Amino acid sequence: MRKIGLVIKEDRKPKQVARSLKKWLRQHGVEVFTDISKPDLDAVIVLGGDGTLLRAARVLGNKRIPVLGVNLGGLGFLTEVSYDKRLYAMLERFLAGDFTVGKRMMLHATVFSETSGHWTGSALNEIVISKGALSNMIKISVWEDDELITSYEGDGLIISTPTGSTAYNLSAGGPIVHPELKLIIMTPICPFMLSSRPIILPDSANIKVKVTAKSPDVHLILDGQVNYELGRGESITVNICRAKGLLHIVKSPARGYFSILRNKLKWGEQEI
């Protein structure tokens, strides 16, 4: 590898680590760039937490280059590699091509509104359609292609990837799904009816979501970071499908997915 992009969380510790890492990479003959939109990068290293990696994913989703996440944030569920004395030994292996990646699907959304035309965006974890903080319930009807799936009344709807199954989807009662599977999870948020349950769809599904009860305050949110206000009292249609590319996340050599589940989310723990 000769050209590597760096994504650095705006915080003191990641900036300190970035200075040391840039020096180390240049000593190993690697050019370092902070513009990860460059077309000829060999890899990207993310210094921060899961939120930093989610931001990078929206730029890197179609590039098919390895993304190495170094956890300098909080949870560190997506940024699998720890910042410790073993990091530079792992980076030497990384530069030599000795690593494996998990290929993660992403979602793509296109919004059609009466007043503002259309808007597009992508997400690694989830796309959420949600009412505002002080709004009443919203009614959402969902189709796969031209077939009606169901209608929900409640606070909103989460459309999640397998990677995002352990994020907002899990908190709303959705299932845990292995991140390298290719499928789409649809989970209602605080539904009015007890019969409104999550459903799993194939990754080939073209989902159309329509807000059928006009609400004064509805939002589309990508990975909890990008907020698009869906207008006030207008008819809204959102088309959601699998994005074209797969994000290639470098796996930690020290721990597997189920170890991360147990240690980070305390999954499967039993108190004796």
Task: Please identify every residue annotated as catalytic.
Answer: 50
Question: 19: Cβ–Cβ under 8 A, 6 or more apart, which residues?
Answer: none
- Farthest-apart Cα atoms in the chain, separation: 61
Give the number of C-alpha atoms closer than 13 A to the C-alpha of residue 99, restricted to the C-beta side. 26
Burial letters 112-149, b for 16+ CB under 10 A, else e: ebeeeeeeebbbbbbbbbbbbeeeebbbbbbbbeeeeb
What token pair was written down for 243? 């994005």
Rounded CA-CA distance 24/13 in Å is 17
CA 180 to chain CA mean position, Å: 13
Helix (H) or strand (E) holding 89: helix 87-95
Burial letters 55-74, b for 16+ CB under 10 A, else e: bbbbebbebebbbbbbbbbe
Residue with tokens 């004796």: 272
**Cα–Cα distances in Å, from 172 out to 14, 53, 157, 168?**
32, 23, 10, 6
**156 in Cβ contact with 131 (< 8 Å):** yes
Q: How many CB atoms within 10 Å of residue 217?
A: 17
